[in-house]
A and B are shown apart, each in its own frame.
Chain A
Amino acid sequence: MLATLLLLPPIAAALSLAKISDRLRLQIFRTTAFAHLALSIALWVRPGGELFGGFVSLDAVGLLILSPTSALFAGVSVYLGGYLARAERRSHRIFIASLLVLEGALSLACASQHLGLFWVALETSTLVSAPLIYFHHTGRALEATWKYLIVGSVGIALALLGTVFLAIAATNPSGGSTLWIRDLMAAGSHLSKPWLHAAFVLLLMGYGTKMGLAPMHAWKPDAYGEAPPPIAGLMAGTFTNCAFLGVLRATQICAHAGEAKFASSLLILLGLVSLAVAAVFIVGQADYRRLLAYASVEQMGVLVFGLGFGVLGAQGSLLHVLNNALNKGILFLAAGNLLQLYGTSAISGVAGALRRTPATGALLLVGLFAAVGLPPFGLFISEFMILRAALAGGASAWPAGLYLALLAVIFLGMCVAILPMAQGDDSPREARVAEPLSTLLPPLAFAAAALLLGVYVPPPMARLIDSAARQMGGG
């Protein structure tokens, strides 16, 4: 089952490269994405075993990150039908193929048990997302793509270095070493401390660049601001989570080596810096796509911040991963609808969406409320869990206080920006616009899922989060 899941996207990618119509390509994508979703749901019921000599196997954390990835791809595959129909005509050959490779690479990243393989998967996903960002072929998109590539490459290079350092740290007396995650965890306190520390810094910086943690975040607003919104949503909701998986693995290893304190100081620092940077740029933001990008920086900050507080915090962070993915799905897809409807991504150019297109307007509001951590959406629960962990575990209340204050500032910024888009006077009054169902259903489904996670976390998921979080506790 796991093998099918991993092999399906690349095969479909190859298929879509053949000379076939764009409609068929989209169909292939949709079918693959839904098959992928079905398979990953099936994996919840019957966990897959080890594959390829143990290189690939889905553990609790992997499954937790794979599931929203899969769901987001399925949603976007539906959404693209409506979106592309309204976008300019252009061959989708590379676009669809890249999407499929991306899905494959991300699935591989989730399932890889070897840090080298993980790195390869993530690097692949970085490269294939370049054509996705460049989809609209504008000068600005080109600039964004270039920046994304350079910054992303530097970041991923640092991650590679970190991986190598980890291997050096794990050198055993006989000269052998390992990059198997389970071996690294088992090595525990035998890891060489200075190299482990350096490795952790590099991995955090490297995968942090991919996540978009400040100060490595600068590519993010550019890329999300210029990529087609569904692609930006995919990146914000899946790609960054997979990069977070890298940070998670590194933290896991650190925790098992008894260096949890070292890791958490860095995680908390970067988390707070990300929150602060996001707060500065969210307040007064003039472009809603860039706004969402900074919101993503914020969420990433919350993720690593939570990870800095032991098992409790990791629980919150893992739940947050799921919620954030769904939330990004809602917001970016709604933003895509607005972009197509109003033809601008300037906040001042959009007003009265609730009147003009009630469904998208409502989605925007729901997405906003979910993003800023209001109930009944899941982010409320996960942010509260993280706060609680921060207060319970922290030696001082400062990080928790800063976290709350920054979240409040971000709340202000997001509301100031988005509320007038949804509400407000849409004069000159234009007729209501009927939107295709395909661009409404996916975000609605995400909203429903986000609501569900806020009200009731299914017990299997709760158990999985619990067991995954325990890995962060060391020992």
Chain B
Amino acid sequence: MAALAAAAVLSAVLASRRALALAVSAGGCLAALALAAPPAVQVLLGGGTRTLTWTNPVLGQQALVLDPLAAWFVVPTLFISTGCAVYGVRYLLAGDRPVGMQAAGTNLIVLALLTVFLAGDAILFLAAWELMTIFAFLLLTHEHDRAEVRRAGLLYLVLTHAATSCLLAMFALLSIHNGSLRFGTGAALSPGAASALFTLAVIGFGCKAGAWPLHIWLPAAHPVAPSQISALLSGLVIKTGIYGLLRATLLIGRVPMTCGAVLLGIGVASAVLGVLAALAQHELKRLLAYHSIENIGIILIGAGLGSMALAAGRPAVAAIAFAGALLHVVNHALFKSLLFLSAGAVGRACRTLQIDRLGGVLRAMPRTGTSFVIGAAAICGLPPLNGFVSEFLVYMALLAACAVFPVAGQAEAVFAFAALACVGGLAAACFAKASGAVFLGAPRTPAASDAREAPGAMVGPMLALAATCVIAGLSGPWLLRVLDAPVQQLGGVSLAATPARQGLIATAALGAALIAIAGAIALIRRGLLHRQPAESSVTWACGYAAVTPSMQYTASSFARPLIAVFRGVLLPQRRQIAAVAPFAATVAVEEHSPDPVERFALDPALRGSGVGLALLRRAQPTRVQSYVLAIFVALIALLWWRLG
């Protein structure tokens, strides 16, 4: 951590030397990785905790605690932030804005992230939490001369802070109950109090995580940030919400089953609505942002189910559910940062991320494109990649829960199971659309056809992440070992004692089998084709000869049937300029699906309270007589109230 702080200071000082500052920042991340990863991995493998305590004169004892749960989040943070920082060097140098803030901020936010994970007392946690919010805000408003960037930044800052108020209340109540600000274990609270605290935690952490319906900041903020910051935000920062929730479940202890059920419900809503909204997006990073909501939903399904299972006294089910949630945290961090990084590379090369203006980028940017496709397959949960493994655990936990829960829980688990299936299908549709329209086919605009492959310093982190996605998908037995300690901490039993053990091993083996069989088929195919040279031709267009790239099926059309099916949820708005005559010059159809929460809840609420406050302000007196009158009236009123 010291290395990070030093690097932050150094890169802030070096702000004027752009390249150097960024390099120092990346170096800082690397140093932190080298220093902090070994103890974290040790804790994961060996269990146990490491603690560093000191005493604060006004707040009492404070501590940094590295326990398995913290370590589980620390390790990916170190790796991914390093990748993002390396990527950022070349990415930011291509722009013309000052980079000092970015360089220092990247280190500082990683520092804040690590502190959030390691904090052993409420104040340290909350301080790091808020600092993380500030740094994230400063990083994502890199291009703050653009109004939309400022708006997104503001939305992020204000919403997450409002949610943090709940956390302040929660930790304050918890510390009052425990008599200390230090984190304890499982406060023995009455069910009512536990539910209240849990609710506060869900609101506070849910907003940061991007859980529906508190997610509105997320699709606004991610697209406007520099890509490596989007990756950091989506990969790591929103995960702190999950970490917080899991930590809170540990701190609060036993909560009634309804709490977990509500969390599960939020998870299902986030997953389904997130993926549907993603389907309707036209901008690549915005689409990815909505997928973050979807994946957070999947994680929350796991977390909520785990909590339900603990309440129902089914630790084995809880262990599988928590394992799924935890694993998905890391997996999502991996493939989502991979996707954002590759999207950033495309945006930088083509100067647009409007999906319908791209196309065929894979041939110009083979490594970036391949990374993206791997990430896309991973995020859809397709075997043999890593996304599957964690979703598999969540599915399994849901099925297991079906068998053992009381009937209401059973019904909810079944519902979640079906919803998750639907989400899987929709995610696949959405990423088929995204990768197809951006990377495949022919370029739709000159910007897309002029694309060049990104420099090595940007491609390197992407390829590394892509490779990790593949490897993590095939390393089930190893995952079983590293997951064991944090899962035990949360669920109380070892993962190895659950059916998940066989599942993890078998999926890894079959994943390898899949790759082997595909390889074999590919070899056979090559052998067959070897005899006959392959020919090249234009795409068969059913007899039509003059095919142009603009005739390709667009991403919007691609998603259109599904949007039509779900129009009751998405409420698309259509703007159409119909052809009035043959050969009309302008014919246009536009369809947008603004976020219903934003459209029907946030905007009217803001507008309404704005009007209300303006009315109140209009009542403001301006004369000194009125000022004194106010005092006079207040005096009489108070005397009346207290003495009368």
Chain A residues close to B by CB (< 8 Å)? 146-147, 150-151, 154-155, 158, 194, 197-198, 201-202, 204-205, 209, 215-216, 218-219, 262, 265-266, 280-281, 283-284, 315, 319, 352, 354-355, 369, 372, 374-376, 380-381, 384-385, 387-388, 391-392, 400-401, 404-405, 407-408, 411-412, 415-416, 419-420, 423-426, 454, 456-459, 461-463, 465
Contacts and interface: CB of A to CB of B under 8 A. Distances in A.
Contact of B150 (A150, A204, A423, A458): A423
A469 to B, nearest CB: 11
Given A266-B642, A454-B127, A456-B56, 12 more contacts: A194-B643, A198-B639, A218-B626, A218-B627, A381-B58, A388-B172, A388-B175, A400-B169, A405-B165, A411-B158, A424-B150, A456-B57
A424 B133 CA distance: 20
A375 B169 contact: no
Interface stretch (B517-525, B591-599, B616-624): B616-624
A153 to B, nearest CB: 10
B130 interface: yes
B57 A458 contact: yes
Contacts of A194: 643
A155 B642 contact: no
Contacts of A456: 56-57
B627 A419 contact: no
Contacts of A281: 617, 620
A376 B626 CA distance: 41
A354 B635 CA distance: 45
Given A284-B610, A423-B141, A219 B157 contact: no
Contact of B176 (A197, A388, A412): A388
Contacts, number: 153
A154 B628 contact: yes
B145 interface: yes
Nearest to B638: A201
Contacts of B161: 372, 374, 408, 411
Contact of B127 (A319, A375, A411, A424): A375
A417 to B, nearest CB: 11
B264 to A, nearest CB: 27
Interface in B153-171: 153-154, 157-158, 161-162, 165-166, 168-169
B176 A392 contact: yes
B421 interface: no
A215 B630 CA distance: 6
A404 B165 contact: yes
Contacts of B168: 384, 387, 404
A216 B145 contact: no
Contacts of B257: none
B46 to A, nearest CB: 33
Contacts of A380: 126-127, 130
Contacts of A461: 57
Contacts of A154: 628, 631
B585 interface: no
Interface residues of B, number: 52
Given A376-B131, A387-B172, A388-B172, A381 B59 contact: yes
Contacts of B173: 391
B5 interface: no
B157 A415 contact: yes
Contacts of B635: 158, 201-202, 205
Contact of B144 (A408, A411, A424): A424
Given A205-B638, A374-B130, A404-B168, A419 B154 contact: yes
Contacts of B58: 315, 319, 381, 385, 457, 462, 465
B551 to A, nearest CB: 40
Contacts of A204: 638
Contact of A201 (B620, B633, B642): B642
A419 B630 CA distance: 33
B166 to A, nearest CB: 8
Q: Which 10 A-B pairs have the closest CB atoms?
A: A462-B57, A375-B127, A423-B144, A218-B627, A388-B172, A425-B145, A404-B165, A215-B630, A459-B57, A408-B162
A391 B173 CA distance: 7
Given A266-B642, A384-B123, A456-B56, A352 B145 contact: yes
Contacts of B624: 146-147, 150-151
B634 interface: yes
Nearest to B124: A375
Contacts of A459: 57
B614 interface: yes
A7 to B, nearest CB: 34
A201 B639 contact: yes
Chain A contact residues: helix, strand, loop or mixed: helix
Contact of A407 (B146, B165, B175, B628): B165
B630 A218 contact: yes
A101 to B, nearest CB: 25
A369 B134 contact: yes
B145 A424 contact: yes
Contact of A420 (B130, B150, B610, B634): B150
Nearest to B153: A419
B516 interface: no
A202 B634 CA distance: 11
B404 interface: no
B366 to A, nearest CB: 38
A271 to B, nearest CB: 14
Residue picked from B153, B175, B627, B635, most chain A C-beta under 10 Å: B627
Contacts of B157: 415, 419
Nearest to A400: B169
A156 B134 CA distance: 41
A147 B621 CA distance: 12
Given A280-B617, A369-B134, A381-B59, A209 B631 contact: yes
Contacts of B153: 419, 423
B126 A457 contact: no
18 contacts: A147-B627, A150-B627, A151-B624, A151-B627, A158-B635, A216-B630, A216-B634, A280-B613, A354-B144, A355-B145, A374-B133, A384-B123, A391-B176, A400-B172, A404-B168, A408-B161, A424-B150, A463-B57
A291 to B, nearest CB: 13
Nearest to B625: A150
Contacts of A419: 150, 153-154, 157
A150 B616 contact: no
Contacts of A215: 630-631, 633-634
Contact of B165 (A355, A408, A416): A408
Given A388-B176, A424-B144, A151 B165 contact: no
A179 B598 CA distance: 59
Nearest to A281: B617
Contacts of B621: 218
A231 B169 CA distance: 36
Interface string B58-92: 11000000000000000000000000000000000
B165 A219 contact: no
Nearest to B59: A381
Contacts of B638: 201, 204-205, 266
Contacts of B616: 280
A216 B630 CA distance: 7
Contacts of B126: 375, 380, 384
A320 to B, nearest CB: 12
B605 to A, nearest CB: 12
A374 B628 CA distance: 35
Contacts of A219: 627
A130 B172 CA distance: 43
Contact of B631 (A155, A355, A385): A155
A398 B189 CA distance: 21
A201 B641 CA distance: 10
A287 to B, nearest CB: 12
A411 B154 CA distance: 11
A289 B461 CA distance: 48
B169 A404 contact: yes
Given A218-B621, A387-B168, A387-B169, A411 B162 contact: yes
